[in-house]
């Protein structure tokens, strides 16, 4: 008997709640159809993405691991990073992102870095272990070695480590840790 009363109550309450939600969305919280006073909001808005020209980024083929892990990271990337606005990217992978000019480029789901061998030096920033390749005089390539899929961040050689430092907590939250395995 008690169970039948609970089912009956749910059958009545659920449609009433749905109807109220629809009415609030249609009429607005004040019942005026959304024609009430508009809130005065102060402050600045982020610069829209796309003020800088689109950058073409070469990306590796998307793996099954990247397909599962990278969307979480990409959904958490900020429109502004280390004072630089994001910019549009054209690539074969949806897992590339860029900021600023000269561009800082992030690619999720790259191959492990070739230079990451048993005795290679790494840096740990906010719980993320990075292999840093400085062999190119124009670009420093930071690659995670302790995430379920490696993430590569290409930073102009003239820049400091502010970008990988800012990205490390985001990567640590978005991508699960895995024990680093050097190539050799």
77 lies in the same domain as 160 = yes
3-state helix, strand and coil shares in percent for the chain, rounded to the nearest 5: 25, 25, 50
- CA-to-CA dists, residue 109 to 59, 60, 122, 157, 168, angstroms: 9, 8, 19, 23, 16
Count other C-beta atoms under 10 Å from residue 70's C-beta: 24
Please say whether the dihedral angle defined by the alpha carbons of residues 75, 150, 160 and 157, taken in this order, is positive or negative: negative
Rounded to an integer, what distance in angstroms lies between the CA atom of residue 23 and that of residue 84?
42
pLDDT score for 166: 97
Same domain, 66 and 136: yes
In a domain, 141, yes or no: yes
Do the domain assignments include residue 28?
A: yes
Per-residue pLDDT at 119: 86
Total structural domains within the chain: 2
The DSSP code for 177 is B
User: What pLDDT, on a 0 to 100 scale, did the predictor assign at position 184?
Assistant: 65
Is 105 in the same domain as 170?
Answer: yes
Say yes or no to pLDDT of 158 above 60. yes
**Tokens, residue 70:** 């990278």
User: The whole model's pTM is what?
Assistant: 0.73
- Parent domain of 18: 1-40
Tell whether 28 and 107 lie within a shared domain: no
């Amino acid at each position: 008997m008690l169970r039948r009363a609970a089912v009956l109550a749910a059958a009545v309450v659920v449609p009433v709640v749905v109807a109220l939600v629809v009415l609030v969305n249609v009429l607005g919280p004040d019942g005026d159809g959304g024609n009430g006073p508009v809130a005065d909001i102060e402050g600045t808005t982020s610069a829209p993405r796309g003020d800088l020209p689109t950058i073409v980024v070469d990306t590796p083929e998307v793996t099954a691991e990247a397909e599962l892990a990278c969307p979480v990271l990409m959904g958490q990337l900020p429109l502004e990073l280390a004072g630089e606005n994001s910019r549009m990217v054209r690539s074969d992978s949806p897992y590339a992102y860029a900021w600023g000019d000269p561009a800082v480029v992030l690619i999720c789901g790259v191959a492990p870095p070739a230079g990451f061998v048993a005795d290679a030096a790494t840096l740990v920033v906010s719980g993320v272990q990075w292999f840093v390749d400085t062999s190119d005089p124009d670009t420093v390539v930071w690659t995670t070695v302790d995430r379920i899929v490696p993430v590569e961040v290409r930073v102009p050689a003239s820049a400091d480590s502010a970008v990988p430092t800012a990205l490390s907590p985001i990567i640590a939250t978005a991508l699960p840790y895995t024990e680093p395995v050097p190539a050799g």
